[in-house]
Amino acid sequence: MDEALIVSDTSCLIVLSKTGQLGLLKDLFSQVIVTPEVVREFGEPLPNWISVQEVKSAAIQRLLETQLDIGEASAISLALEIPSHQVLIDERKGRRIASEMGLKVIGTVKVLLLAKERGLIDSLNDALQKLLDAGFRLSEQLVKDILSKHS
């Protein structure tokens, strides 16, 4: 298990949940934290191993909400307040803004790569196909590149 904490945005939780892979987060990170806004966007009960924490700096969140949706804005704001400074987010604009703010950003595909490296999944190809089947957008070329480098 990686001892790092991670703050997650909603979209990553949704696609991992849809594909039956949400538990990978529990196996990869010491703590998975979301905001109440992410809980509302997720729309279903989250496992009890996911912690919910309020953002302390509403001003930063409001500023981010001028450019991002509320879930992304709250996740980035919370990640800035937590010593790990790591956020799980897939949306390109959110990833760029989080990186510019000094956060370490990973996405759902990186979660699968870490899971494969640690023997938590047998087939990276199957895991990626589950994402695609659930409507996750990855170009065919990107999938080929990922598989050629990591299989």
What pLDDT digit, counting tens, does each position of 20-51 carry?
999 999 999 999 999 999 999 999 999 999 99
Query: In which domain, by residue range, is 79 found?
Result: 2-109
What pLDDT digit, counting tens, does each position of 58-117 carry?
999 999 999 999 999 999 999 999 877 799 999 999 999 999 999 999 999 999 999 999
Number of domains in the chain: 1
**What Rg do the C-alpha atoms of the chain give, in angstroms?**
15
Instruction: Return the CATH number at 17.
Output: 3.40.50.1010
In a domain, 47, yes or no: yes
Whether 102 and 84 have beta carbons less than 8 Å apart is answered as no
Model confidence, pTM:
0.90
